[in-house]
Amino acid sequence: MPNGIGYGQPSHRYLQDLGDQGLPISPGTLAGGLQALAPLFVPIMEALYCKQMSEQLFHNDETRWEVFVQIEGKVGTRWYLWVTRSPSVVFYCIDPSRSAAVPGAHFAGLQADKVIIVCDRYSAYKKLARLAANIVLAFCWAHVRRDYLDAGRGFAELEAWALQWKARIGALYHLNGLRLEQWDPERPLAEQSEAFNQHHEALKQALQLMHDEATRIVAPDTAGAQTGDSADREGQQSAPGAELSKSAQRKRKKVLQSLLDHWSGLTVFVEHPEVPMDNNRAENSIRNPVNGRKNYYGSGSIWSAELAATLFSILQTLVLWGINPRHWLRLYLQACADNGGKAPRNIEPFLPWSMDEERRAKLSRPYPPPASPTERVPIHDSS
């Protein structure tokens, strides 16, 4: 249901609340009503998709989603909820697969010659980029940071080294933040201010030092990679006064090799200041479904799973534009009722990017209550 989806509330709790207020409704009645509402949102989802495919910067993520149905060729009930967030739209889809075919199908409608997708290092995105020449991947530094922290937790002898690299990654964020304070999005990179260029060069230098250090340690003929007890650059030491065990050496090398393997994607943000260093936008977007999943466990049918993805998309896009979802839903569903139980012929008034500032400001507030209990305020607003 719209409100349950937005607040992570399972339908049975909502029904219990209504029953406590003297409004008993059976689960079947609720399910039938929701299934009847689902087609009303199809034109909105089509508009969201078309709008998103006109954009050039995306954040992607996916999470498990249980769908308690049996389908031919599918073992188990684990499906996946995929999210693609762009500047204007948050778009979800539900699929039984976690393969590259899912984002591949979604991005088949891209209009730009080149787009950037910020993501983690999951192989499906790498395959997508190999198959689509117009897609560039920007990998997430938060995941790289996690690599070092995991290494430090797993090997006490790597803890100091891991914390040093954590600090170096933090310094990258700081330098990039200073750079962005001086960035003028309206001007090409080569025409930025002197202040921007100073921070830009400092950022590039810090990255180059990290790359050189990783290359030196990973190289098979490097003494540091063989013995593990030599001091790192700038006086850094993995474990002062002690040799690294072979398992710790392998772990350190694995972390650094991953850094080098993903280096081109990790440095996309340097030449594209509009690209964040991490994928927090997608992860923040998918947090609501993940938290809600703990309450309602998933979906009991394919249509309800698809409706959940639809409502996650619409409600989060509305929030992205500062629109009150309840206000929007009330107006939209009334417009559907006025059109004989079908979606409005003209959905432009309900698309955030098509609204003028006055209408968006109006819809950002709660729907106004009637002036008196007996006065009915018209819900439909075609302005």
Strand 135-139 to 298-299 pairing? unpaired
- The proportion of the chain whose per-residue pLDDT surpasses 90, expressed as a percent, equals 84
24 and 125 together in one domain: yes
For the whole model, what pTM was predicted?
0.90
Residue 274: inside a domain, yes or no? no
Mean pLDDT of 295-320: 95
113 and 2 together in one domain: yes
160 and 214 together in one domain: yes
Domain that holds residue 365: 322-383
367 and 252 together in one domain: no
Residue 18: inside a domain, yes or no? yes
Mean pLDDT of 32-41: 96
pLDDT band at 378 (very low <50, low <70, confident <90, very high): low
159 and 47 together in one domain: no
pLDDT band at 5 (very low <50, low <70, confident <90, very high): confident
Render 184-196 in DSSP notation, one character per residue. -TTS-GGG--HHH
Select from 51, 63, 32, 127 the least CA-distant residue to 282.
Answer: 63
- pLDDT tens across 230-252, in order? 444 444 444 443 589 999 999 99
Q: In the prediction, which pLDDT does 223 show?
A: 47
Question: 42 exposed, middle or buried (CB, 10 Å; 0-12, 13-18, 19+)?
Answer: exposed
- pLDDT tens across 154-170, in order? 999 999 999 999 999 99
Residue 271: inside a domain, yes or no? no
Q: Report yes or no: 144 and 162 within 8 Å, Cβ to Cβ.
A: no
Does the structure show a pLDDT above 80 at 1?
no
222 and 298 together in one domain: no
